[in-house]
C-alpha cells in the first residue's frame, strides 16, 4: 500500500514548536487505517478510557492494565509523548462500582486515593511524564452562575481538599512529572474558567504542585467561541506560571451534517489552532481523529461528524484548514 508522502499534522506542527495530540482507543488499534492516521498526524497520545479507574480496577484490589498497556506500547513505539488521563475524576463512569458502594471514613478514602494514584503512576513512571491528576472538579452550573467544586465520590468523603491532596500525592510519586488540571466549558473567560482560575491560583499560593491546565474544548459547530477571550483565558493561566494545552478538541455537528456546518466546523478548528499557536500552548490535542471512532454519536444524540477525517478516513475541510493554519 503506497503511503502518501505528504507530511501529517505533527510534521508541519513541529516546525511551530507545538505538539499535536489525539486520544487513542485500544479497541481500534487492530485497524490499519486507524493506526496509520494516528501515526501520521500525532506525536502526543492520551488513552481515551483505558486508564479510567473503573477500567483499571473493576474489582477491589485487582488492577488490570492490559488495555492501557496496549495504548502506552503503541504510543512509545511511534515516539508519541503520553498524557496519562485521568488519575482522579468523580464521574460515575470513572469510579468503580465496588468503590462507589463503600462507606468510607475520610482517612480510609484518603488512603484509597493515595493507593490508586501510586499504583497507576508507578507502573508508568518511565513511560508517562504528563498526568491529568484531577479531571473536571468544577461544576458547570452556568444557569445559576454559581461555580463551585462538584460534589462527588472524593469530595463527599474527603472534602474539597481532595484536589490539593491528589496533586501533592502525584508529585511525591513522580517529582519530575508535569501535573495537569483538565476541564471542559472553560475555554473562554467565563464563570467556570474564572472559578477554576481562582481555585488554581489559591492552590498554587499554598504551594500545590500544579504545573499545567488542560482546556478540553469539546465544542458544537453552532457555537461561537471568541478567540480573543480564549487567548486571554490562556494567557492568565500562563501568567500564574502554568503551561496550557488544548487537550480534547472536537466540534460536533447537529445532524443533518451539511456543507455549511462543515465549513463552520473547519473555521472553528483552525481558529482555535491559531489561538494555541499565538499563545504557545504545549499542545493542540483532539478527542479522536476519524468520525468512524468518536464518543460523540453515543454521548450526544443527534450529533455527529465532530472530527477531522470522515468515516472513510478522508480528510475533511477541518483537516485542510488545520494544515493551512500550520503552514502560515
Ligand atoms: O470497551 C469497553 C468494553 O470492553 C467493556 O466491556 C465496557 C464495560 O466496562 O466498557 C467499554 O469501555 C467504554 C469505553 O468508553 C469504550 O470506548 C467505557 O465503559 C466507557 O465508560 C468509556 O467512555 C469514555 C468516557 O470518557 C468515560 O466517561 C469515552 O470513551 C471517552 O471518550 C470519554 O472521554 C471523556 C474524557 O475522559 C474527559 N473529558 C470528556 C470526554 C468525553 O466524555
Q: Atom of ligand 1 at shortest distance to CA of 85?
A: 37
Instruction: Choose one of 21, 25, 28, 49 to mutate for the ligand 1 pocket test, by most ligand atoms within 8 angstroms of C-beta.
Output: 49
The domain segmentation of the chain, as residue ranges, is: 9-327
50 φ/ψ angles, rounded to the nearest 5 degrees: -65, -20
Could you tell me which residues come within 8 angstroms of residue 100 by beta carbon, excluding any fewer than 6 positions away? 92, 153
C-alpha cell at 209: 504542585
- Which residue shows C-alpha cell 517529582? 175
Q: What is the dihedral of CA 289, 51, 13, 268, to 10 degrees?
A: 50
φ, ψ dihedrals at 144, nearest 5°: -80, -25
CA–CA separation, 137 and 134 (whole Å): 7
Q: What distance in angstroms lies between residue 229's CA and the mean position of ligand 1's atoms? A: 31
| CA–CA separation, 91 and 192 (whole Å) | 18
- CATH topology (fold) of 9-327: TIM Barrel (3.20.20)
Q: How far does residue 99's CA lie from ligand 1's centre (Å)?
A: 18
pLDDT tens digits for range 188-242: 999 999 999 999 999 999 999 999 999 999 999 999 999 999 999 999 999 999 9
Ligand 1 contacts CB of residue 89 (under 6 A): no
Q: Which of 295, 298, 300, 307 to mutate to test the pocket of ligand 1 (most atoms within 8 A of CB)?
A: 295
Calculate how far, in angstroms, residue 72's C-alpha sits from the geometric centre of ligand 1.
17
Half-sphere exposure of 132 (CA within 13 A, CB side): 29
Q: Which atom of ligand 1 is nearest to the CA of 58?
A: 9
Write out the three cell numbers for 23: 486520544
Give the residue numbers annotated as catalytic, written as ranges: 136, 248
Per-residue pLDDT of the chain (328 residues; tens, 9 = 90+): 344 456 899 999 999 999 999 999 999 999 999 999 999 999 999 999 999 999 999 999 899 999 999 999 999 999 999 999 999 999 999 999 999 999 899 999 999 999 999 999 999 999 999 999 999 999 999 999 999 999 999 999 999 999 999 999 999 999 999 999 999 999 999 999 999 999 999 999 999 999 999 999 999 999 999 999 999 999 999 999 999 999 999 999 999 999 999 999 999 999 999 999 999 999 999 999 999 999 999 999 999 999 999 999 999 999 999 999 999 9
Amino acid at each position: 500500500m503506497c503511503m502518501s508522502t505528504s507530511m501529517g499534522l505533527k510534521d508541519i506542527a513541529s516546525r511551530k514548536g507545538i505538539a499535536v495530540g489525539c486520544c487513542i482507543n485500544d479497541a481500534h488499534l487492530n485497524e490499519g487505517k486507524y493506526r496509520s492516521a494516528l501515526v501520521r498526524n500525532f506525536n502526543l497520545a492520551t488513552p481515551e478510557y483505558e486508564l479510567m479507574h473503573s477500567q483499571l480496577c473493576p474489582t477491589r484490589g485487582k488492577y488490570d492494565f492490559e488495555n492501557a498497556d496496549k495504548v502506552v506500547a503503541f504510543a512509545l513505539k511511534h515516539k508519541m509523548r503520553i498524557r496519562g488521563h485521568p488519575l482522579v475524576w468523580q464521574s460515575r463512569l470513572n469510579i468503580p462500582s465496588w468503590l462507589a458502594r463503600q462507606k468510607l471514613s475520610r482517612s480510609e478514602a484518603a488512603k484509597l486515593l493515595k493507593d490508586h494514584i501510586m499504583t497507576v503512576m508507578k507502573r508508568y513512571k518511565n513511560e508517562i511524564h504528563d498526568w491529568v491528576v484531577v479531571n473536571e472538579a468544577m461544576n458547570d452550573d452556568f444557569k445559576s452562575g454559581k461555580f463551585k467544586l462538584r460534589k462527588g465520590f472524593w469530595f463527599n468523603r474527603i472534602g474539597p481538599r481532595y484536589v490539593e491532596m491528589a496533586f501533592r500525592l502525584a508529585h511525591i510519586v513522580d517529582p519530575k512529572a508535569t501535573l495537569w488540571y483538565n476541564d471542559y466549558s472553560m475555554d473562554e473567560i467565563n464563570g467556570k474558567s474564572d472559578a477554576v482560575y481562582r481555585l488554581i491560583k489559591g492552590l498554587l499560593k499554598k504551594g500545590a504542585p500544579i504545573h499545567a491546565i488542560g482546556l478540553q474544548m469539546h465544542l458544537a459547530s453552532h457555537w461561537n467561541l471568541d478567540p480573543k477571550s480564549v487567548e486571554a483565558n490562556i494567557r492568565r493561566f500562563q501568567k500564574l506560571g502554568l503551561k496550557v494545552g488544548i487537550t480534547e478538541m472536537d466540534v460536533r455537528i447537529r445532524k443533518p451534517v451539511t456543507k455549511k456546518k462543515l465549513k463552520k466546523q473547519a473555521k472553528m478548528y483552525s481558529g482555535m489552532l491559531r489561538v494555541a499557536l499565538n499563545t504557545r500552548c504545549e499542545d493542540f490535542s483532539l478527542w479522536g481523529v476519524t468520525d468512524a471512532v468518536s464518543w460523540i454519536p453515543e454521548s450526544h444524540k443527534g450529533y455527529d461528524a465532530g472530527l477531522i477525517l470522515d468515516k472513510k478516513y478522508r480528510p475533511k475541510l477541518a483537516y485542510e484548514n488545520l494544515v493551512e493554519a500550520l503552514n502560515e
